[in-house]
Amino acid sequence: MQLVKAEYPTPDHVLVHVSDPHFVAEGLLYGEMDPQLGLVEVLDSIEASGIGPEAIIFSGDLTDKGSAEAYRKLRTLGDAYAKRMGTQIIWAMGNHDERGNFRSVLLEEEPRPEPVDRRYDLGGLRVLVLDSSVPGHHHGGVTEEQLGWLADELQTTADDGTLLVIHHPPVPPVQDLAVLSELRDQEALAQVLEGSDVIGILSGHTHCTVFSTFAKIPVSVASATSYTQDLALSPAAMQGRDGARSFNLVRIHNRTFVTAVVPVGAYAAFGKRITAEETRRRLRAAVEMPETETKPTGGTLSGRR
């Protein structure tokens, strides 16, 4: 309930966006780290937050080698968290994924080799998942047939707008070597999206958080739950890290797309904690107080006085 007059309404939709778990069937990822531990750390944080998202969107590279057993491990883990949180999971293909096993294990469909493009309806919000994987390669691409499917879907508008999920982000890379694996022929995709009701694009692939625009649409790239890229280096250098994980919180306010990075991990607390009950109390007090008396009298949102 919104107690005070605000510039924007309370959100119509709240989602969580994660990416690149890179699950393996057995052993360690590249012989160095267990990617399941990273995803558990992120999902534990989401569950403990009480956010209660309508959906958790995974934007690709769900497994590292595309094995059926890796997908089964991922689905078992994801389903357990989704059930406890009362939410659903939306899966997208990445360049490390394999379409046949993806389909059979995660979607319970025949293991066909065609691109895995899907539509999901979350109330008035439409989510379109576009498969940008190119089998046998790490760069991304979208076929004419896929663009036709996307254009057909976008001929009608959704009440609360549309989110496009595509693994390869249609934005300039922030690391020099990433040009080898970027999304190719982006102009054709831009032509389909321009003037549509797409209010936001969710991507992964980079193993770091990136924000940009494409065809005048906000783009939000989630970092990886497996390993992350260290950007405190020369753009010509690359170094993965087993840490610095996060998830992206997505809120839709009357077709206004808002996303925020939520780091996970333990840190020293600062200031007095403001509970949800205290927030409601303060908002009720602001409604009851005359406008001339609601000006701040000092203190910060951390609760310190």
pLDDT tens track for 146-201: 999 999 999 999 999 999 999 999 999 999 999 999 999 999 999 999 999 999 99
Q: What's the CA dihedral at 203, 209, 212, 214 to 10 degrees? A: -10
Work out the pLDDT band at 288, boundaries 50, 70, 90.
confident
The pLDDT-based confidence of 304 (bands split at 50, 70, 90) is very low
pLDDT tens-digit readout, 212-255: 999 999 999 999 999 999 999 999 999 999 999 999 999 999 99
Q: State the pLDDT at residue 291.
A: 56
Instruction: Summarize the confidence of residues 42-59 as an average pLDDT.
Output: 97
Give residue 305's pLDDT band: very low, low, confident or very high (50, 70, 90). Answer: very low
| pTM metric for this prediction | 0.92
Q: What is the pLDDT of residue 6?
A: 82
pLDDT over threshold 60, residue 295: no
Neighbour order of strands in the sheet with 217-221 = 118-122, 125-130, 162-166, 198-203, 217-221, 210-214
Q: With cut-offs at 50, 70 and 90, classify the pLDDT of residue 303.
A: very low
Q: Residues 78-126: pLDDT tens digits? A: 999 999 999 999 999 999 999 999 999 999 999 999 999 999 999 999 9
